[in-house]
Amino acid sequence: NAGVMQNPRHLVRRRGQEARLRCSPMKGHSHVYWYRQLPEEGLKFMVYLQKENIIDESGMPKERFSAEFPKEGPSILRIQQVVRGDSAAYFCASSSGLGFYEQYFGPGTRLTVT
């Protein structure tokens, strides 16, 4: 049973480009969470999605960031016009409808903005 998959594992973008990060939850999981980890920091919540719905985006920056979890396919975190401050590790986690509290994490995507 595959765990949470994230790709790419490493992504380099120049300032002003777009970054698209993908997350496939564990089989049977319909809840996806995105977290960001800045250097030397803990993980900070960004957004919580269920299939086709954004449940909580209180941790998302107001501009340039968006997330979706379509009916088919992975969840996408999209960052437009990236800046150096967006350089971080972005983690996706998933949970099932039963036991929301137990979240399983993917390996993360390390975004570097040059």
CB neighbourhood size of 63 (10 A): 8
Query: Under the criterion CB under 8 A, does residue 52 sit at the interface with another protein?
Result: no
Distance CA 74, CA 112 (A): 22
Distance CA 68, CA 75 (A): 6
50's tokens: 């269920």
User: 3-state class of 55 per DSSP?
Assistant: strand
Cβ closest to another protein, residue 100 vs residue 114: 100
Among 19, 23, 33, 88, binds another protein (CB under 8 A): 33
Query: Under the criterion CB under 8 A, does residue 18 sit at the interface with another protein?
Result: no
For the CB of residue 70, give the shortest distance to another protein in the complex, in Å. Answer: 19
Among 16, 27, 41, 52, binds another protein (CB under 8 A): 41
Q: Interface residues for another protein in 74-113 (CB under 8 A)?
A: 89, 91, 93, 100-105, 107-108, 110
Query: Under the criterion CB under 8 A, does residue 39 sit at the interface with another protein?
Result: no
CB neighbourhood size of 44 (10 A): 11
